[in-house]
Amino acid sequence: RSYFFVGPDARFNLFDLLLVISASIELVVVGMAELGWMQGQGASWLDVSFLRCLRAFKLAKVLRIFRAVRFFRELKMMLNSVMGSFIMLFWSLLLLVFLLYVFSVLIMQCLTMEITANDTPEDLEMLRYYFGSTLVSIMTLLQSTTGGMDWGPIYEALQGRGVL
């Protein structure tokens, strides 16, 4: 029994003890509040907003999984490689956003130079719908490259526009 607080797993055991005590306190306080215990005394003594803080400790139960993970070196190595690849994912997404921005500005610039007086209001409305602002142009390009939108209507809006 003395190894509970002194042994190799003492930190996890203390953490488990803290979780059990916080859950017990929450059960007692919520039970008292539901029964209306001491309601006649103003009930100002019962402020259950601190229980939200105790619920955050319950989320920390996930940390207990690390005790089991340390026995699986292969799993730990795979998790480390996945976590290490998030940096590359971030830079890849940043490059994608940059390219989408550059091409949306390029398309909008070419469209503003190619708009003529002979364009019909329907054509202009379609161009405004797909390329009305920089953000709308980025979303149009993103959706068309990722499969969220078909290229057909966008091509029809851009068809016959000179450089494009």
Tokens of 83: 């976590």
Tokens of 14: 């203390």
The tens digit of pLDDT for each residue in 58-81 reads 666 666 666 665 667 777 788 889
pLDDT given for residue 42 in this prediction:
47
The tens digit of pLDDT for each residue in 12-35 reads 778 778 878 877 877 787 777 777
The C-alpha atoms of residue 42 and residue 39 are separated, in whole angstroms, by 6
In Å, what is the CA distance from 45 to each residue of 22, 32, 36, 50? 19, 12, 12, 12
The DSSP call for residue 116 is -
